[in-house]
């Protein structure tokens, strides 16, 4: 059997019983890719722990690399800055949230049940990151900071979150004004940002106050949305949508 490896491809020629040769190709780059992903995740986990323990400003890339047991150059290979590490956290948190919502979106049909389930799932999957969020929030709250959820750098995570709320709306059986239905996913995402702000400052056991806020807010949103298609309130709905579009600029 002849073995040639070119560019990570394992090119094996095997002698067949009839004396001829057949070739099989196996990708030997996969183990290397898995090792790289493991290193990347290790760096992210280490960074989040140090951000939580020391604060974002006091934590350096050198310290993250040392704690993770990798070279500084290797750390910079995966992440060019601490801000990129936080963006990786955003992406991970969004993926975990989407996964946690699958069951409720597959089984619930009313807007209230779907929205409440998605918001509660966010609090549940975010619980391990609460100490980190408390220390980090002052940076994310700055409008000009690239780590702000409204920044250009945060656009992928933000758009993924809005897409999730679009799924909430599109899968709901409720009667909703057509124009409002188009704007509702972004409005629900803004509602979720308010929930996040409350959650960051929530020191109650198990963030029970945040869960109560969700349970009280969702029926109110549901009632307001339900009224949007009524003839007497359609004008108000149009005015409201107009204000939203004006603010969006």
3-state secondary structure 49-78: HHHHHHCCCCCCHHHHHHHHCCCHHHHHHH
In whole angstroms, what is the distance from residue 215 CA to residue 209 CA?
Answer: 10
* Coil, strand or helix at 5: strand
Architecture of domain 2-78: Orthogonal Bundle (1.10)
What local confidence, expressed as pLDDT, does residue 30 receive? 66
What local confidence, expressed as pLDDT, does residue 206 receive? 93
Compute the C-alpha angle 215/221/223, nearest 5°.
105
What local confidence, expressed as pLDDT, does residue 20 receive? 53
In whole angstroms, what is the distance from residue 132 CA to residue 56 CA?
Answer: 9
In whole angstroms, what is the distance from residue 40 CA to residue 152 CA?
Answer: 23
- Return the CA Rg of the chain: 24
Name the segment(s) of the chain with CATH classification 1.10.10.60: 2-78
The H-assigned helical ranges of the chain are: 29-54, 61-68, 72-78, 82-107, 111-126, 130-140, 155-170, 178-200, 208-227, 234-248
Q: Is the separation of the CB atoms in 126 and 195 below 8 Å? A: no
Q: Is the separation of the CB atoms in 114 and 168 below 8 Å? A: yes
What local confidence, expressed as pLDDT, does residue 9 receive? 39
* Coil, strand or helix at 222: helix
From residue 31, alpha-carbon distances to 26, 45, 193 in Å are 11, 21, 39
List average pLDDT for each run of 10 residues in the chain, which is 249 residues long.
37 47 51 80 91 86 96 94 88 92 97 98 92 79 85 90 96 90 92 94 95 97 85 70 68
Name the segment(s) of the chain with CATH classification 1.10.357.10: 82-248
| Residue 63 CB neighbour total at 10 angstroms | 16
Q: Are strands 21-27 and 2-6 parallel, antiparallel or unpaired?
A: unpaired
- Which residue has 């298609």 as its token pair? 229
What local confidence, expressed as pLDDT, does residue 138 receive? 77
- Which residue has 């890719």 as its token pair? 33
What local confidence, expressed as pLDDT, does residue 208 receive? 97
For the chain, what is the mean pLDDT? 84
The tokens of 70 are what?
Answer: 């990798």
Q: Which residues lie across from 27 on neighbouring strands?
A: 9
CATH for 82-248? 1.10.357.10
What local confidence, expressed as pLDDT, does residue 248 receive? 65
In whole angstroms, what is the distance from residue 28 CA to residue 55 CA?
Answer: 40
In whole angstroms, what is the distance from residue 65 CA to residue 208 CA?
Answer: 36
């Amino acid at each position: 059997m002849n073995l040639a490896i070119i560019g990570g491809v394992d090119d094996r020629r095997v002698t067949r019983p009839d004396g001829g040769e057949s070739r099989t190709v196996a990708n030997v780059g996969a183990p290397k890719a898995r090792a790289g992903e493991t290193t990347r995740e290790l760096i992210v986990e280490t960074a989040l722990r140090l951000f939580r323990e020391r604060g974002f400003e006091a934590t350096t890339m050198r310290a993250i690399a040392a704690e993770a047991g990798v070279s500084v150059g290797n750390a910079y290979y995966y992440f060019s800055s601490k801000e990129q590490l936080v963006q990786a956290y955003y992406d991970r948190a969004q993926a975990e949230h989407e996964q946690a919502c699958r069951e409720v979106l597959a089984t619930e049909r009313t807007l209230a049940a779907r929205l409440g389930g998605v918001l509660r799932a966010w609090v549940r999957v975010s619980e391990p990151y609460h100490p980190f969020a408390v220390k980090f929030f002052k940076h994310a709250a700055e409008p000009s900071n690239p780590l702000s959820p409204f920044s250009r750098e945060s656009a992928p995570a933000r758009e993924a979150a809005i897409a999730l709320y679009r799924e909430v709306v599109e899968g709901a059986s409720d009667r909703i004004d057509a124009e409002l239905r188009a704007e509702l996913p972004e409005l629900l995402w803004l509602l979720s940002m308010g929930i996040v702000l409350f959650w960051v400052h929530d020191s109650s056991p198990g963030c029970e106050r945040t869960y109560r806020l969700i349970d009280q807010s969702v029926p109110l949103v549901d009632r307001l949305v339900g009224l949007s298609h009524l003839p007497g309130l359609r004008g108000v709905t149009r005015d409201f949508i107009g204000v939203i579009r004006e603010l969006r600029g």
